[in-house]
Amino acid sequence: MVHAELTVAAVVCIDNRFLVVEEFAHGKRVINQPAGHVETGETLLDAVVRETFEETAWRFTPTGLVGMYHWPHEDGRTTLRFAFCGEVGQHAPDQPLDDGIIAAHWLSAEQLSARDDLRSPLVLQSIADYNDLEALSLDRVKHIHGR
146 found inside a domain: no
pLDDT tens digits for range 82-126:
999 999 999 999 999 999 999 999 999 999 999 999 999 999 999
31 found inside a domain: yes
147 found inside a domain: no
> How many CA within 13 A on the CB side of residue 37?
7
User: What range defines the domain where residue 129 resides?
Assistant: 4-140
Among candidates 81, 80, 73, which has minimal Cα distance to 11?
81
Among candidates 57, 27, 52, which has minimal Cα distance to 119?
27
pLDDT tens digits for range 25-79:
889 999 999 999 999 999 999 999 999 999 999 999 999 999 999 999 888 899 9
Q: What is the CATH number of the domain that holds 129?
A: 3.90.79.10
Provide the domain count of the chain.
Answer: 1
In this prediction the pTM is 0.95
145 found inside a domain: no
